[in-house]
Amino acid sequence: MRSEFQRPRGTQDILPPASYRMEQIRRIAIDTAAKFGYDLIETPIFEQTPVFLRVGESTDIVQHERYSFTDAGGVDLTLRPEGTAAIARAYVEHGMFNQPQPVRMCYYGPMFRRERPQALRYRQHTQFGAELYGSSQPEADAEIILLACDVVEQVGLKNPLIRLNSIGCSQCRPSYRKSLIEYYQGRHQELCEDCQTRIHTNPLRLLDCKIDVEIRQQAPDIQDYWCEDCRAHYQQLTTLLTEAGRQVIRDPFLVRGLDYYTRTVFEIGHPSLGNQTALFGGGRYDGLATTLDGPEVTPAVGFGMGIERILSAVEENFPLPLKRSVYVAHLPGFEDAAFVLAENLRQQGFSAESDLLHRSLKAQLRDANRRSTVVVIVGGKEWEQGQVAVKRLGESEQLTIHQDQLSEFLRQELTPNP
């Protein structure tokens, strides 16, 4: 039996060094977004439940995987399962549609879904996402996709793969939907249990069933149903991405899980993961803000990337920032002097630590070897004469320098080579 004093099922404690990798990815993602002109926005980790109900009523996430609760004031709240709905809510609530368009935003933070625990599916996971509001042009879709690719490259996965599709618009999708339902009705008996329900609730998702892959091969292809505008949009988007030097594949089975997509849907993968494995995805959702009482026409396009997934794909190749710090060791009786020197160095901007356990010099040096770049040894007659012994990590040679010159020495030792 699981102890009630263990972390909740499906969650993780992110310990060092993984925690530093996470932090670095966060910085890379936000900086890359800034390069494209996207501003960071932070929304609460919970919203009033209707925000999510309105945008994703028929999805598994909203139906079965919600963490919802009623607070002491009787308000129905939900921990956010994804970022897009909350950003749409904020866009409408702050009247951002009155600002000069487009509005470019990015977000980073934890998301919550009560998923069945399995590899890389956490009930709390971290997402970075970007949203572009106010342009219905294919250039907007292209920019979002290029930003997504750039983040992936910046964390070390060169030449990402874009799988692309258009699921049409309110003009052309209904007739496709009709044909799709007819086709699947004809093979109703062969469908898996989920798909027998999906055919009524979310027929497009029949195409991304992992079980009925054989049946979809003969299903009608949406590109034969695209209206002229959808076709032109898709073609221009492909042209822009190709001209920008990106590799694009059309995937007729790519539909994405959420109801609110219009036209563009995409997934970003990497050749090292195989052609069918996605790292994350996104798309266009022109109707989303409108369902949250936004203006009649609110074009929007974006993506959300699970950081744990990205991290698992790059882990081996992702360098940790080099730790450059000072360990202030002491000879017996010089604990105070070492403690104060460490603080002194920190005040000068160095990263410094001291023993705190009254250990022998030998034990301190062993510890220092694990944790620091330079060791300073305090005590003995050197100390009385205004000197300290210093040692570089991994070198046995010990230097004696004057205390006045310690800062200058450390500055040279700890500054990364250009």
Which parts of 296-355 interact with Zn ion (CB under 5 A)?
A: none
By CB under 5 A, the residues from 179 to 208 that bind Zn ion are 192, 195
Query: Which residue has 């249990």 as its token pair?
Result: 193
Residue 234 labelled as part of a binding site: no
How near is the Cβ of 254 to Zn ion at its closest, in Å?
Answer: 16
In the window 155-174, what residues touch Zn ion (CB under 5 A)? 168-169, 171-172
414 touching Zn ion, by CB under 5 A: no
Residue 254 host element (H or E): none
CA distance 184 to 377: 77
Is 108 known as a binding-site position? no
| Distance in Å, CB of 300 to Zn ion, minimum | 17
Q: Decide: 133 and 298 in contact? Cβ < 8 Å.
A: yes
| CB neighbours of residue 214 within 10 Å | 9
Determine what percent of the chain falls in helix, strand and coil, rounding each to the nearest 5.
Answer: 40, 20, 35
Please, what is the minimum distance in Å from the beta carbon of residue 176 to Zn ion?
9
Does 26 show up as a binding residue in the annotation? no
Shortest distance (Å) from residue 39 CB to Zn ion: 31
* Packing angle, helices 18-35 and 307-314, rounded to 10: 110
In this structure, the number of other CB atoms found within 10 A of the CB of residue 171 comes to 13
Q: Which is nearer to Zn ion, 18 or 209 (CB)?
A: 209
Of 76-84, 224-232, 284-292, 386-394, the segment contacting Zn ion by CB under 5 A is: 224-232
Residue 346 among known ligand-binding residues = no
Query: What's the min distance (Å) between Cβ of 91 and Zn ion?
Result: 24
By C-beta, is 195 or 292 nearer to Zn ion? 195
Three-state SS for 153?
A: helix
Q: Which lies closer to Zn ion via its Cβ, residue 263 or residue 270?
A: 263
Q: For residue 108, which of 303, 271, 250, 277 has the smallest C-alpha distance?
A: 303
**Footprint (CB under 5 A) of Zn ion, residues 228-257:** 230
83 is an annotated ligand-binding site residue: yes
- Closest distance between Zn ion and the C-beta of residue 226, in Å? 6
- What token pair was written down for 303? 């993506």
Residue 157 or 191: the one with the smaller Cβ distance to Zn ion is 191
Angle, vertex CA 36, rays to CA 30 and CA 39, nearest 5: 50
Nearer to Zn ion, 120 or 232 (CB): 232
CA 144 to chain centre: 15
- The answer to whether 182 is annotated as binding is no
Q: 3-state secondary structure string, 10-34?
A: CCCCCCCCHHHHHHHHHHHHHHHHH
Please choose, out of 62-70, 100-108, 212-220, 339-347, the segment that lies near Zn ion by the rule CB under 5 A. Answer: 212-220
Residue 152 within binding range of Zn ion, rule CB under 5 A: no
174, 171, 186, 181: which is closest to 206 by C-alpha?
A: 181
Q: Which is nearer to Zn ion, 213 or 357 (CB)?
A: 213
Q: Residue-wise over 313-337: b if at least 16 C-beta within 10 A, else e?
A: bbeeebeeeeebbbbbbbbeebbeb
Is 335 annotated to bind a ligand? Reply is no
Nearer to Zn ion, 230 or 388 (CB): 230
Q: Which is nearer to Zn ion, 45 or 209 (CB)?
A: 209
Query: Closest CB to Zn ion among 63 and 312?
Result: 63
Residue 260 known to bind ligand: yes
Smallest gap from residue 122 Cβ to Zn ion (A): 25
If one asks whether residue 211 binds Zn ion (CB under 5 A), the answer comes out as yes
Q: How far is the CB of 101 from Zn ion (least distance, A)?
A: 22
Q: How far is the CB of 169 from Zn ion (least distance, A)?
A: 3
Which of 238, 235, 234 is CA-nearest to residue 262?
Answer: 234
Among 61, 227, 249, 337, binds Zn ion (CB under 5 A): 227
What are the DSSP E strand ranges found in 2-92? 39-40, 46-48, 68-70, 76-79
Rounded Cα gap, residues 160 and 62, in angstroms: 30
**Residue 328: which of 312, 315, 340 has the closest Cα?**
340
Phi, psi of 77, deg, nearest 5: -120, 155
Tell whether residue 11 is among the known ligand binding residues.
no
Residues near Zn ion (CB under 5 A), total: 11
Distance between CA atoms of residues 234 and 180, nearest Å: 21
Q: How far is the CB of 216 from Zn ion (least distance, A)?
A: 9
Nearer to Zn ion, 195 or 388 (CB): 195
Annotated binding site: 82-84, 113, 127, 131, 256, 260-261
**Which residues are documented as binding site for L-histidine?**
82-84, 113, 127, 131, 256, 260-261
Residues at the site binding Zn ion, with contacts judged by CB under 5 A: 168-169, 171-172, 192, 195, 209, 211-212, 227, 230
